[in-house]
Amino acid sequence: MTTEKLPFKIDYLHVKKAALVLRAINHRLRQQIVQDLHANGKMTVTELYIHMRLEQSVASQHLAILRRAGIVKTEREGKFVYYRIDPDRVDVIDHCVEKLIH
């Protein structure tokens, strides 16, 4: 009986990037930001930090993490920068998580 080894391929760089995306959404405050953006469609950082009673710098830092993970996108309207959820990205994340846990 031979014990043939199957090819083993895991792209550890991709695993690290995926972990950063999941870590971005796995935070209570960022989850609240995502919920608020979903409920309101789009918001400025000012609207978010006032609504959530946060310091502006805290809101900006968390939005930057969500933006790097691709969960939120920005759009400029005149002098205002609006944040909104990227629904396609959230669907992909949700689908991947479902596959991982089942």
pTM of the model: 0.86
CB 45 within 8 A of CB 63: yes
Mean pLDDT throughout 37-55? 96
**Fold for the domain defined by 12-101:** Arc Repressor Mutant, subunit A (1.10.10)
Is the pLDDT assigned to residue 1 strictly greater than 70? Answer: no
Look at 39 and 8; give whichever has higher pLDDT: 39
Tokens, residue 47? 């609207």
Q: pLDDT band for position 86 (50/70/90)?
A: very high
Mean pLDDT of all residues in the chain? Answer: 93
pLDDT value at 2 more than 80: no
